[in-house]
Each structure stands twice: as structure tokens, then as C-alpha cells.
Structure 1
């Protein structure tokens, strides 16, 4: 690397050549790496007459403690920066938290009137659809009642889903929900009497699993039970429900022997809306067999007895009552396919027709149970004077003991 030659003047030298030259050696340790003159070493010039001159550095070498001082001051500066940054961060977080709370408060203030408005519109929509205040209160009461019965539901549900003696969802037809559950007795020594049971549910929420408690109790008494499912409203109307129940009864009458049942001891049973549907199916089948038209796949002669539990058999007496209880007239008439069809689906009215005496004579023995404390379908909605001529009518107080009495009575009838 070439040397940098600087001319200097030395007053102590008396020679003809007063100029000497200073060489800066870049290999010496500088104070600042970018300053080549900070620390130098004087060396002689390669000229002959040049004398070595000792010259002190222009800038003295920095003491070692200077670095320490610089480092400590730098560290102190960094600490101050971090402190300030931390304070700024806490301040910003606090401001952000306050801003979020204020924003949340504004959102709540904005959402409250909108929620109230939507609630009012929803209630008005339910009212226009026929679901009014009474329906909502009945639904809440039903929820509280179900909550109190929940421990019992768990026991029955466990039996329904995990018992090996319950054959669930056996297909009996081509329509939706054409399924039935079959409850098998413990003993398999010979054919067993069979109960074809149509569950209730106000024609809207009926389901075959509602009969699991009855199926469990009767199967423990050596009786086979078939709980028939059917289409509910609005999936189907009354004629669809009767058609489904009739197909389920036909399956029981014709196929029950394959499961160990006795086809000669088949009993029909219905509860609440299911009692009404089963009664309509039975009367309609009797009319078909009396020669009034229509093909038949089962016979009323195959039914030993019909048991109706808390059913409604005269719809003319129930329209106003259901309307006052929350099942509004428009919905009820939609289920029953119009006011002109009320007679068709009122078994009590049909059997009083003098032109249908032959069909009525084909009906099996009928046993009706109803509770005096039943508010779903009142016991006085039927004509007792005529029913007593046609069947055995039992008016009982609604309690668990009556259900056990019914089981004992039914067991005796089945044994007979």
C-alpha cells in the first residue's frame, strides 16, 4: 500500500534541506477506524538525508475507562428508552382498554333497541302463524314438567336404546315414518298376545318412542307390543295419519307371527290423538269390509278388543275447546282437512249413522278409559249415553294407580 507523504518543518535541524517528510503507517491502531491520522508512527523517508523525527500522535489514545463510561451511559440510555417505551405501552394499552369499553358500551346501546324490535316482530310473527301467548306458556309449562320427569326419562330411554328386547324402526310401509318398534317378552315359550299401540301427540308431535314405558311394562307381563309411528302435521293431514295407522295394523296382523306373536290375539290400542287415529282406522276398515268400497289388507275380525285411552271421538265438541287451549281453530281445521271433514273423522258420529249398521256390527269390543282430571281432552266431550250402548266406558281420575289398574285389566283380557 503506498505511503502518504506529508511535508513538515523541523526548526531544530540546520541543514540545507529543511524539509522532511512524515509517513503515516496505516498498520497502527487508530482511535477511529475511518480517520487515518488519528494515531500514526513517524518513520523515516526513504531519502538519504532524512532524519527520523519523533512526533507524538495528533490525538492521544483513548483510555480504557472511556469505553466503560460510554457503555454505562449507553446502557443508562437504553434503560431510559425502555422505561419510556414501557410507559408509553402501558398508556396506549390503558387508552385502548378504555376505548374498547366505550366501544362495547356503544354497541350494547345500539343493539338493545334492535333486539327489542326483533323480539316484538318475532312475537307478532308467531301470533300471525297461530302460535300465541298461550302456546308459549303451555310450552314453558311442558318444559318444566319434562324437567321434573327427566330422571324417569333417563331410565326409560336407557331401556329403549340399549335393551336387546326392543326391535326399533321396523319398516312397515313406503311412506315417510312408516316405522314401528317391537317390544319382545322375556319368555319365548309359545306365541304371545300382541298389542298394536298408536301413540298420541296432538296430531303434531306423535312419535313411536312415546310408548316405550307401556311397551316395557307389558313386555314384562309376557305381552308383545308394537308401537306404530305415523306422519304428523304438517308432514301429513288426518287422512295420511289414518292411512299410516292402518298399514301398521296390517303389518302387525300379517307379520307378527315371524317375531313370536300370536296373530289370533291382536289387540288395538291408542292414546289421546293416537286413540282418535286408531278409532278412525278401525271404523274405516269396518266400512270397507261392509261393502262400502276399498281394498283391505287386514280385517277387523283379527282385532280382539280396542282400548282407547283419553281419546277424542267427537271433533265437533272439541273445536272450540282446543281453540281456547291454544290449538287454534285454523290449525285444527287444517289438520282435519277442513270443517267439512269433521264428521268423517268423528267415530262417535259415524257409528250413529243408521246406514252403517252393518259396519258397526263388525266392530270388535271397545273399552274406553278417560280421566276426569284430563285437561287435554275433557271427559265430557263425548256422548256417554250412546257410547255406553256401544262399548264399555270407564271414567277414572287421572293417576298412576289407574294406569296400573288398566294393566291388570288388560292382562286378564289377554289371558282370556
Structure 2
């Protein structure tokens, strides 16, 4: 989302950062973990303990408070420029039009026994992740570690709930990783948080019925940028022989949806979109570090030859009419990866916008090319799973078509 302020951006105050960190959720999921099992054995989870209705309401209230408090603190921090306010109003109208779907998803998120919320993976307030578990508990399941977008400012793990719920219906576990946003943290904090979340998944997912040998990393928008940074930086550490707690070899493939991978090329674009240069450079810790947090630039460096050879299969998805992050970002990154000898694919969706692929199309239900591709890719070596996918019912529609079309027209993204 492009955002704007009418004043120059000051440096975040220490008090503000400390105050915002105290607003993070400090709770671990109240559901028990699944027990570790031998992969060769048939997996059967222990009976799940149902939470009380009052506890669920309390959890929902706490999550709502977190989002609301961070939004107001961010508003007071950024100021209220005219163009920024118009985009905020457009966002409010966009959300209202899609509210019928959001309410249904929120109900499933808070009350489904298949969702394990706010599992702690680190010691920072936002170091939490949500797990979406398939109802079929036979055998170990493939896992998608998903990193949500939000312009590095308004990202939140629950934004991935629709994807998590729908992939869980296809026998795929989804772990949505939360991470500190600006001004709680800057880009290095975000990358560190996501890397720590991946570490937790790689080393603990078997306890929830996940297959540690079938982990896929996926990010959307700003989440695609942050997760790709985490992946590339981990490959560099591994190539140097540094001490690591998770290996790039544990990631079977990387899926990047509508992401940006070359920050120097995006500064002016974001500035014109309302994410002012001063704000963006503060998020990215200054102009000198833009290349350090640009996966495309990093892999071009000849010194990264060994790191590039460690990267998993990379698949990038992008809509051709994406005005938030141009599709050229994915095109040039894939071309660079090809030149450097990495395995990479680019899938473009003609006429699709920044939100079509992640929101409008999934809310529409039925067949979805991107969703079907990801599911088929993950289940490619499982004939039985592919057969179940082919016979499965079409995905449900959450929002009437007229509201989806109106939302697409007013979208600020």
C-alpha cells in the first residue's frame, strides 16, 4: 500500500519504539503441540483440546487491540498528508466492500480447531506465527512458510488466513510468520524475525504433523521482499561456512508473489506512489544499505557464486497491471537468476493487479490459476494427493462478484 505524509520524517524516538514493542502479543498458543513422530510411521495426532468461547473472544479482542493501537501510533508518527489521507479513505472503502468475506474468514480464524494462533518462535513481541492444519491427520504434510505483505508498515500474520485456510483444505500445512513492522523495527529486524520464524518451522514443524523435508517458503508483496532477503542471506551464510540453525537445503522451493527485489529501482516509484523517500529510506536503514537488502543485486555479485548454487527452485508470480510493484521487478530478477545459473520460473497474469492475485481472486472462489499451480507444484510427487485435489470440491465464494469489481476499482494498492 502506498502511504504519504505532508512532513519530513523524523527518526523514530526510543520511547516510541519501546512503547510500540510493549503492544505486541506475549502469549503462546494455548493448543498443545503435536508429538514428534517417525516419518516412516503412520501419523495420528492426539485429540485436540477445545478452547472456551470466552477465551476465544479474549484472544480476538487482544489481536484487535494490537492492530488498532499500532495503526493509531503509526498515524501520529507519520502525520496526515492530504494524498495519504485519501489513500487511507480508499483503503477503508475497499475493506468495507470486501467485509462480507473478511467476516467469514475472521470467524474461521478465531474459532476453527484447525488454526493454532500466536505460537512463539522468538523473544521479540511480534515473534509469533499462526498454523493452519489440515483436517486429514494421516501422514506428514508438506508445509508452506508464508510471509505477509503490508508495505513494511501494516503487515500482520492474520493477513495470510485466507491462503492458510484454503491450502489446509488441500492437505498442506501453512505457517504464517509475523514480524516487526516499521516503526517497531527496520528492515534488518524484519529479515532477522522472518529468518528466525523459518528456523522454528524447520526444526519444530514435525511436532505439528509437518514434513521437515517438504518445506516451501512463500512471500507476498513486502513479504516477498523480506522472505527473499532472508533466503539469500541464509545462503550466503551457509556458503561461507558460518554457524547456522537452519539450512537453505531444507527449503524445497521459493514462491514470490508480487514482490520487489531491487530496491534502488523502486525508490522513485514508491515516492510517486506516496511512500515518501524519507519514510522508505528510514525503513531500509538509509540509501547506502539499499543494495544490501536487494536480492537481485546480491546474486549479481560474483562473490555470491556458491550462495546462488545453494538456492532452491524459485518461482515468481506477478500481475501485468500491478501499479504498486511493477511486474518488471519479477522479470528482471528471474533473468538475473537465469544468468547466474539458478533455477527460476516467471509466471505473469495478464491484466491482474497487486491485489487480484492475493485477495479478489481467492475471495471469488472456484478455479484459480495461481492457487492450482502452487498446489500442483507442492503435490507433484504425491499421486494420491493430486488425485484428491482433482476430485475436491471447488473453493467457496466469499464475496459477491459486484462487490469484488467495485473493490478492484477503488483499491489504493
The reply to whether TM is greater than 0.5 is: yes
> What pairs with 1:178-257 in structure 2 (closer than 5 Å)?
178-257=127-206
1:406 aligns with 2:370: yes
Superposition deviation, residue 385 in structure 1 = 3.3
Equivalent residue number for residue 354 of structure 1:
302
Q: SS state of the match for residue 231, structure 1?
A: coil
SS in 1 for 2:311: coil
Cα shift readout 1:164-188 (whole Å, capped 9, x = no counterpart): 1000000000111100000000100
Separation in 1, partners of 2:329, 2:80 = 24
Deviations 1:51-95 (A, max 9, x none): xxxxxxxxxxxxxxxxxxxxxxxxxxxxxxxxxxxxxxxxxxxxx
Structure-2 residue corresponding to 1:341? 289
Which consecutive unaligned segments of at least 5 residues does structure 1 have? Answer: 1-122
What CA distance in whole angstroms lies between the structure 2 residues aligned with 1:271 and 1:387? 19
Matched-pair contact (CA < 8 Å) for 1:290–1:358: yes
Q: Larger radius of gyration, structure 1 or 2?
A: 1
Q: Among residues 361, 365, 368, which one is paired with 2:313 in the alignment?
A: 365
Equivalent runs, 1:273-312 vs 2, <5 Å: 273-291=222-240, 293=242, 295-312=243-260
CA 1:144/1:286 → structure 2, altered by over 3 Å: closer, same or farther?
same
Structure-1 separation of matches of 2:129 and 2:9 = 35
8 Å contact from structure 2 (residues 8, 278) kept in 1: no
Long gaps (5+) in structure 2: 11-77, 363-367, 382-413
Aligned-residue offset at 1:124: 6.3
**What is the CA distance between 1:376 and its match in structure 2?**
1.2
Match of 1:325 among 273, 277, 281: 273
Match of 1:168 among 109, 117, 124: 117
The separation in 1 between residues aligned to 2:135 and 2:300, in whole angstroms, is 43
Q: What per-residue deviation string (whole Å, max 9, x for no partner) do you get for residues 302-345 of structure 1?
A: 00000000000000110000000100000000000000000000
Distance 1:270 1:260 in 2: 22
The alignment partner of 2:109 has SS state of helix
**How far has the Cα of 1:227 moved from its partner?**
0.2
Q: 1:267 to 1:385 in 2, by over 3 A?
A: closer
Aligned residues: 293
Instruction: Give the aligned partner of residue 392 of structure 1.
Output: 345
CA RMSD of aligned residues (A): 1.9
Using the TM superposition, give the Cα deviation of residue 203 of structure 1 relative to its aligned residue in structure 2, in angstroms. 0.3
Cα deviations by residue, 1:208-266 (Å, 9 ceiling, x for unpaired): 00000000100000100000000000000000000000000001100000000000000
Q: 1:134, 1:325 within 8 Å by CA — same for their partners in 2?
A: no
User: Is the CA contact 1:130–1:328 (under 8 Å) kept in the aligned structure 2?
Assistant: no
Separation in 2 of the partners of 1:271 and 1:181? 16
Question: What is the CA-CA distance between 1:386 and the residue it aligns to?
Answer: 2.2
Does the 8 Å CA contact 2:254/2:315 hold for their aligned counterparts?
yes
Distance 2:253 2:8 in 1: 42
SS at match of 2:255: strand
C-alpha contact (below 8 Å) 1:367/1:392 kept by paired residues: yes
Aligned twin of 2:208: 259
User: Residues 331 and 154 of structure 1: is their aligned pair in 2 closer, same or farther, counting only changes over 3 Å?
Assistant: same
SS of corresponding position for 1:190: coil
Matched position secondary structure for 1:349: helix
Distance 1:130 1:373 in 2: 30
Distance 1:367 1:402 in 2: 19
**Structure 1 residues 409 and 402, CA gap change in structure 2 (3 angstroms):** farther
In the alignment, the residues of structure 2 paired with residue 313 and residue 152 of structure 1 have an alpha-carbon distance, to the nearest angstrom, of 31
SS class of match (1:244):
helix
Match for 2:93 among 111, 126, 144?
A: 144
TM-score (norm 1): 0.68
